[in-house]
Amino acid sequence: MDRRNFLRLSGAGLGTALVWPGRALYAGAEQQGLAILYDASLCVGCRACQMNCKNWNKLPAESTDPLKIYESPRNLSARTWTLIQLRKQISEKQSQRRFWNKQCMHCTEAACVVVCPTGAMYKHKLGFTAYDESKCNGCGYCTQACPFGVPHMRTMNMLTGKAKAARCTFCQDRVPLGRKTACVDACPVAALIMGERLELIQEGKKRIKALQETGFKKANLYGELEAGGLHRLSVLVDEPAAYALVSGIQVPPLINFWQRIVHPAGKLAMGVTVLGIVIAWFIIRRNIKMEEVE
Amino acid sequence: MNGQPKESGYVQIRWIPKYTFIERFLHWVHTASFIPLVATGLVLYLPSLQPLAQGEAGIWMRLVHRLAAVLFIAEPLLYGIVQPLRLWLNMKEFGVDRDDLGWIKNAFGYYVLGKHADMPPQGRYNTGEKMNGIVMIVSWALFVVTGLIMWFGKGIVSAELFRWMVVLHDVTMIAAVCMFLVHLYLAVAHPLMWAALVSMRFGVTSASYAAEHHAKWYYGPKRARELYEAQKKHG
């Protein structure tokens, strides 16, 4: 291949790669679909959900921190996808202890899906956020983008960066077959139920009303609007902050800026540069006679 | 050689030294690390290359990116260790004066249209080369800082800082790639710039090319200015 053909070919190749349609940011993300409703007023903290999650997903046990009597382990990890946490609020007047089931929130506008460069994190047509481990290359962007800190890396090698992400998949190997998720299946007090999201929102609001009438004035439904609408809704007996949750949390603004502004602007800049060079080359070749160049 | 009679059919070229062996060697080490870095980085950036980012292929891309990064980080440091004086002398060439403004005014006509405009005399590096050099130095520092934090800081630094590093790494890449494309075009394809590639291969440049393109370096600033004024007066 001579130089002229090489330049033409590489210019055409780069141009095609640049104008190739990118995926729309929140394509396929629906507020409808399946969801889980966690009712903190019913949860007795038995951790059956946690156990059955580990059981079904074949996740190994983790060592317990002896200083933390109830929370074991302390946080979600690549090996723990559902965790019962104890939220303590201790003041002079009273001390409150509340259970909280921590797992993936299955956001409609999922930051992990938006930043995943491989398509390993994706929105399932049934509404939840699914995960294809075979596609994951271990970049770890999802772990740094999730506003809830859910995905974790199974880091195998710090130096080479070889790793795989891991998180709750809404039991993607059970739910499409018509079964319930392992956590919902195991809950003995129906604090976790599964169903159509829009129906669960109505059910949740009914429960909030009942709670408020019985004296839990701050009871509220978490997840109706957060991150485009969560597919893991929560009936809380206190304000979200009591559960270490942020009301109205969305995809981090920098993530949207990066994907919506920086990415297309960069492609445009590189495309314009390539185009400009090609045009400049044709002009200069016409105007310069090589015999006259010293 | 100068002073000898010209034989018909031959072009007499007097070669003068421009780059040391170490400089040329490290330039190509830099090239050999930058191109794989861009190639393996773009698979995360361009949706059309997504299959290369997935699974085992993606793990390889990330490994190659890290290996190339080691070369990329080491190369300028090696230069500073092996030839610190040369590095210092080169850095001193990066001053800015009114001739840089004149260069920018005339650059489009000269480099794109091929017109013999009144290009003010240039030093060892012309304004464009200085701009390329500054983008390279700044982007090297940004690449290294943001890259090392992403490599070794994941889970240690805050997610907020990590996200800024990712975005900054991307912005730096965009600027560096645009600059690199122009650099590559001028070095490889532009008919007037043939001497650049020769000097990066063999370390020498032609005296007539240096006199025309780098007069302040070839004649010294004072003589170059006199010649330029005289040329402007007589057209």
Whether residues A293 and B191 touch (CB distance < 8 A) is answered with yes
Cα dihedral sign for A90, A95, A101, A104?
Answer: negative
Instruction: Give percent helix, percent strand, percent coil of chain B, each to the nearest 5.
Output: 75, 5, 25
More confident residue, B136 or A31: B136
Domain that holds residue A108: 34-251
* Assigned domain for B8 exists: no
Q: What is the pLDDT of residue A63?
A: 79
Q: What is the pLDDT of residue A71?
A: 76
Q: Taking each helix axis as running N to C, give the angle between helix A263-287 and helix B159-184, from 0 to 180 degrees, rounded to the nearest 10.
A: 10
Q: What is the pLDDT of residue B234?
A: 77
Residue with tokens 């600059």: B179
What is the tens place of the pLDDT at every residue in B178-203? 999 999 999 998 888 878 888 999 99
- CA atoms of A239 and A257, how far apart (whole Å): 30
A137: nearest CB among B54, B163, B178: B54
The residue in chain A having the minimum alpha-carbon distance to the alpha carbon of residue B162 is: A144
Whether residues B181 and A7 touch (CB distance < 8 A) is answered with no
Domain count, chain B: 1
* Assigned domain for B38 exists: yes
The pLDDT of residue B4 is above 80: no
- CA atoms of B174 and A262, how far apart (whole Å): 9
**What is the ipTM metric for this complex?**
0.88
What is the tens place of the pLDDT at every residue in B55-72? 999 999 999 999 999 999
Mean per-residue pLDDT for B135-157? Answer: 95
- Read off the CATH number of the domain in which A204 is found: 3.30.70.20
Whether residues B113 and A267 touch (CB distance < 8 A) is answered with no
* Assigned domain for A178 exists: yes
Whether residues B50 and A117 touch (CB distance < 8 A) is answered with yes
Interface test with B, best of A139, A246, A261, A290 (most B CBs within 10 A): A139
* Assigned domain for B151 exists: yes
Domain count, chain A: 1
The pLDDT of residue B132 is above 50: yes
Q: How far is B30 from chain A (nearest CA, A)?
A: 21
* Assigned domain for B75 exists: yes
- Read off the CATH number of the domain in which B67 is found: 1.20.950.20
* Assigned domain for B195 exists: yes
* Assigned domain for B171 exists: yes
Residues of B within 8 A of A267 (CB-CB) are 46
* Assigned domain for A239 exists: yes
What is the tens place of the pLDDT at every residue in B70-96? 999 999 999 999 999 999 999 998 988
Q: Which residues of chain A have pLDDT under 70?
A: 1-4, 6-7, 11, 13-29, 65-69, 290-294
B178: nearest CB among A149, A255, A273: A273
The residue in chain B having the minimum alpha-carbon distance to the alpha carbon of residue A260 is: B167
* Assigned domain for A3 exists: no
Residues of A within 8 A of B208 (CB-CB) are 294
Whether residues B112 and A16 touch (CB distance < 8 A) is answered with no
* 8-state DSSP, A230: B
Whether residues A137 and B66 touch (CB distance < 8 A) is answered with no
Residues of B within 8 A of A270 (CB-CB) are 174, 177-178, 181
Whether residues A273 and B48 touch (CB distance < 8 A) is answered with no
* Assigned domain for A288 exists: no
In what helix (H) or strand (E) does residue A277 lie, and over which residues does it extend? helix A263-287
The pLDDT of residue B104 is above 50: yes
Least confident of B7-11, B56-60, B170-174: B7-11
Q: Backbone dihedral region of B42: left (phi > 0), alpha (psi from -120 to 50 degrees) or beta? A: alpha
* Assigned domain for B183 exists: yes
Whether residues B55 and A137 touch (CB distance < 8 A) is answered with yes
Domain that holds residue B59: 16-86+127-213
